[in-house]
Amino acid sequence: MTGRSWPMCGHQRVTALLSGEIRDRRVRHAYLISGPPMIGKTTLANAFAAALICGESEADGAACGECEDCRRAARGTHPDIQRFSLETQRQQSKDRASSDSLTVDTVREIASVSALRAYSSRFRVIILEDADALTDVAQEALLKTLEEPPPQLVLLLVASRADSLLPTIRSRCELIALSPVPMVVLAECLIGAGLSGDDAAKLAEISLGRPGWAFRAIEDNTLIQERADAQDRISEWVEATPFDRIVRAFELANDFSRSRESVFSELGSAAEYWRTVMMNAANAAGGGADTATLGESYRALLSVAQCVNDLERNVRPRLALEAMVMQWPATSPAAVSPR
Ligand SMILES: [Zn+2]
């Protein structure tokens, strides 16, 4: 339908929607882009920002990639695109202790930048990464900007979990939830980047539909090793005695206040483990599904999802993690072999 496409792998439904808003001049003041780590949220925010500031994008809703605005956007020096994140906050602030949450000071800075007129384009775009790390006070402060947005402002909030933001923030944003990119689509992107068909198919599969992960894994071998190590840790956890399962749950609970992301990542690996058990049970040898294992692994998978929900809703980590392992089947399933 349009001549130009967005420079990213997959997520065509979303890019078509956003292009349409640019073409029809229906761009909103705030968007909340959410989805699992490395699925393409920041890439999407960057591509959207470029499409908004490009002087040639009104006709087809995509950046031309060639004009001065596009070149500056690509270099990260466009004066109408500002970026805030835990990283920029750390660079600004001398107080390193406050670095795992985005503070009200950062939101105040966003508010003052938002009020400035755009320098050379139709919009002033602010990308706020790590939005799920905003404190409640910071979110309340941000709400003021969202309630009365300056005319040219487009605020792009980027968060792994949209649910960790206040409903009042979410209701003022257009919600863009990114889902895993289908394996065939991702494999095509990887072939485009120079991988053989076999390598592309294998990497697309283990990346669980996350282009950012796949492209990084091409450059950085340790990523694939880390994933294998994570799967080994989960196997060990599942194969442990009921007592040791709880001990491990408590260890993670203790880590939670220091390092939320690492606990969420471990739970992501646990979900992947149980999903694999479930798929293996559904395709059991001999044609018939292994219904007992299928049911057990499905319940275990739900228990992981429930635990993630509980942690996001500030249930005590010990309770949430203990409740999860109590729902895992008593005997561990036959060894899972992630390919
Ligand atoms: Zn352009």
In tens, the pLDDT along 64-107 reads 999 999 999 999 999 999 999 999 998 887 665 556 889 999 99
Taking the centre of ligand 1 as the mean of its atom positions, its distance from the CA of residue 161, in whole angstroms, is 31
Taking the centre of ligand 1 as the mean of its atom positions, its distance from the CA of residue 82, in whole angstroms, is 17
Q: Which residue has the tokens 């993690």?
A: 321
Residues around ligand 1, an ion, CB closer than 5 A: 54, 56, 63-64, 67, 70
Average pLDDT estimate for 125-143: 95
pLDDT in tens, 174-186: 999 999 999 999 9
Q: What is the pTM of this model?
A: 0.80
- Main-chain phi, psi angles of 82, to 5 degrees: -115, 150
Q: Is 197 exposed, middle or buried (0-12, 13-18, 19+ CB in 10 A)?
A: exposed
Over pLDDT 70: what percentage of the chain?
A: 95
Taking the centre of ligand 1 as the mean of its atom positions, its distance from the CA of residue 55, in whole angstroms, is 6
Q: Which residue has the tokens 């001398």?
A: 94
- Main-chain phi, psi angles of 231, to 5 degrees: -65, -35
